[in-house]
Amino acid sequence: MTDPYALGAADLTVRPEQLDDSPSWVYLLREFEKHYRLGSDGGSKAIRAHRKRVREMLVDVMEANPGVVGREARHLPVTAHLPRALDLGKDGPLSGMARALERVSDRLSWEYGYQKVPRALEKKYAYCEVAGPQGPVRSERLILGFVLFAPGTTYPQHSHRDIEESYVSVAGAWSENELAVHAPGSLVLNVPGHEHRITTGRYDPVLLAYAWLGPDDRLSAPGMQFSNTRKARVEQGI
């Protein structure tokens, strides 16, 4: 007599992991959606429009229930500062995002993103993609991730061709182009081609969440490179 349970087991197939199978990634993406929905636009029409684009794109990604790829965890020297950044974040206005990131911290793949990294940055900077063409959560039209800076870091002048970028402060104080201090909870928008330079305070690490919007081919191969620093700073009067 055939065992029906054995027959049923033989018919089972292993399907690729989808987003709905990974609650920790779902909760992290929901924290992004919540901030881009509820965070202040500061009266800026450009920021309000950007928030809406990111939010709508993210909702589309989540509703599509994309595949989740188990990337190998990778640590770089700056990730020694991550526990402190998460502790600061959990006491700030984006505590939910900091806690959600902590839940997946052992699965993050930190990178430099440049073929040649300045020696001064090797121990002070890294980023990880959580959703995007190279992220564990696959998305072709939107990239979400985090950037981590050590205290006392200067991230050189750069821009992103065809990519609209926003930084959301999760932990630490930092400045862009040395024109203002951005505290946790704030958002900075960089339109395509805008030259920007990041500096961080002397005592604490800085953790930024970021969102990139742009053409599919540009997001899959952004071609990250630093600007001619001296020329860029002269053009901006910095």
Which residue in this structure is represented by tokens 């939010």? 55
Token pair of 108, please? 């993050």
Sorted by sequence, the CB contacts under 8 Å of residue 53 that are 6+ apart come out as 164, 213
In this structure, which amino acid lies at residue 151?
Answer: P
**Domain extent listing, the chain:** 18-236
Strand ranges in 10-56 using DSSP code E only, listed in sequence order = none
pLDDT at 214: 85
In this predicted model, what pLDDT tens digit does every residue of 4-58 receive, in sequence order? Answer: 444 444 444 556 799 999 999 999 999 999 999 999 999 999 999 999 999 999 9
pLDDT at 215: 77
pLDDT band at 166 (very low <50, low <70, confident <90, very high): very high
In this predicted model, what pLDDT tens digit does every residue of 60-118 receive, in sequence order? Answer: 999 999 999 988 999 999 999 999 999 999 999 999 999 999 999 999 999 998 777 88
Quote the mean pLDDT of the chain. 86
Is the torsion defined by CA of 136, 142, 148, 149 positive or negative?
positive
Own/partner contacts of 85-91, CB < 8 Å, gap of 24 or more, are 85/148, 85/170, 85/171, 85/172, 85/204, 85/205, 85/206, 85/207, 86/171, 86/207, 88/171, 88/172, 88/184, 88/204, 88/205, 88/207, 89/170, 89/171, 89/184, 89/207
**Domain 18-236 grouped into CATH 3.20.20.70:** no
**pLDDT over threshold 90, residue 143:** yes
